Amino acid sequence: MMKGALTALALILMSSAAFAADTPMLADRHVKAGVKCESCHGSDQTAKGPRTVKKETCLACHGGTYAKLAEKTDSLEVNPHDSHLGEIECTKCHRGHQKPVLECARCHDFSKELHIK
């Protein structure tokens, strides 16, 4: 009963424009910077199922290619955009409306080297 109500509330919160959270998530920071929901999601807001964002969409605004993006983080001790994992989806690490996760952390401890937000 309680769990159902909370799930319903969570769904309402997720689908509203206001993703209230203590730390603004990636999508909110984008909206603040003037990026529209449609720029990540496309114009079809009625599509069913979990919506994700393809790396091509992210790259259209962030350098054009993975290689160009990797240049930006090349001064870091470990480059998260140039590794043996190759050109994986951005959302493996950068989540839209959730806390980010560092995919590398499944196998390495880069907690000193990398700080994803």
Which residues lie near ligand HEC (CB under 6 A)?
14-15, 17, 26-27, 29-31, 33, 35, 37, 39-41, 50-53, 55, 57-62, 66, 69, 72-73, 76, 78, 80-81, 83-85, 88, 90-98, 102-104, 106-108, 114-117
Q: Which residue is nearest to ligand HEC (CB)?
A: 96
DSSP class per residue in 40-79: HH-S-TT--S-----HHHHHHHTTSSHHHHHHHTTTSSS-
Query: For residues 1 and 18, which CB has a smaller minimum distance to ligand HEC in the complex?
Result: 18
* CA separation for the pair 84, 101 (Å, rounded): 18
Query: For residues 1 and 106, which CB has a smaller minimum distance to ligand HEC in the complex?
Result: 106
Tokens of 87: 């050109």
Terminal alpha carbon distance of the chain: 34
Query: For residues 21 and 85, which CB has a smaller minimum distance to ligand HEC in the complex?
Result: 85
